Amino acid sequence: MEESSVRFSRSEEAAARARRHEVNRAWYWLLLVPLIGTLIPPIYNSEDPTFIGIPFYYWYQMVWIPVSVACTVVVYRQTRGGDRG
């Protein structure tokens, strides 16, 4: 009788893991934000406005570094498996 309860709890755990995976899958869309922001050159293909003498093209690219890191950290924390405590 004890063995059947172990099987039941394992199947419940597998079902919960599958539901969690489906819910967390939506977070991966956040990774498209930095990709789109840097993939379309007409958005940033200009010299003006300058920031401390740096043309827009260059500082726009540099701004995406911390934005990309932040997006990656958020997606990682929301989708990692196991205990989140």
What local confidence, expressed as pLDDT, does residue 75 receive? 92
Q: How far apart are CA 48 and CA 62, in angstroms?
A: 15
51 Ramachandran zone, left/alpha/beta (phi>0; psi -120 to 50): beta
Assigned token pair, 12: 């419940």
Q: How far apart are CA 9 and CA 15, in angstroms?
A: 10
Domain boundary assignment for the chain: 2-79
What local confidence, expressed as pLDDT, does residue 10 receive? 73
Q: What does pLDDT average to in each consecutive run of 10 residues of the chain (85 residues)?
A: 58 69 79 92 86 91 95 91 56
What local confidence, expressed as pLDDT, does residue 74 receive? 93
Assigned token pair, 54: 């740096």
